[in-house]
Amino acid sequence: MNDVPQFATVVKPSDESVSSSTTLQNDDHLILSLPTNSTFIMDAMIIYLSPGNADFKGAWSGPSGATLQWFTDAGSSAETVGVHAVNRIVYQISETTSILAPGLDPFLMCYKPKGILTTGGSNGNLTFRWAQATSQASAAVAKAGSWIRLHKIA
């Protein structure tokens, strides 16, 4: 742990939009470089704006051999406007979760993915990936101020 900072954080400096697409795309800013053979606690706050009928979905990518078991504090996209169940399903690094965007008008929302990330013998990047859950002409927006933080534990 002498050559790698104990903490690494990236903050999104500007908004990014996706319209009419459910294809996951790499976020332009929410990317952190990872060393080999290390273990991290990962947490993030993704601030997003999405039309209610489009919702929002997120996933992660990492270097070959990396594992990430993660969950998120967010309303499930299967919920309707009102009181929402919180999704606590544990996902793997490339699995996608759809996240609620309530109502038919865009609302500013956030969700808080957390997990344990382990890298193998390959270095590379941890990258947040996202898109609309349902294709709509109105844009989904990953907002400035979103962030990812890693705390190296081994």
pLDDT digits (tens, 9 = 90+) for 67-97: 999 988 665 555 455 555 666 778 888 787 7
> What does the pLDDT read at residue 49?
87
5, 152 in Cβ contact below 8 A?
yes
Tokens representing 10 are: 């990236």
Report pLDDT digits (tens) over 26-71. 999 999 999 999 999 999 999 988 876 777 888 999 999 999 999 8
Whether the per-residue pLDDT at 2 is higher than 50: the answer is no
Residue 54 pairs with which residues in a beta bridge? none
Q: Name the nearest CA neighbour of 4 among 43, 39, 52.
A: 39
Mean residue pLDDT across the chain:
84
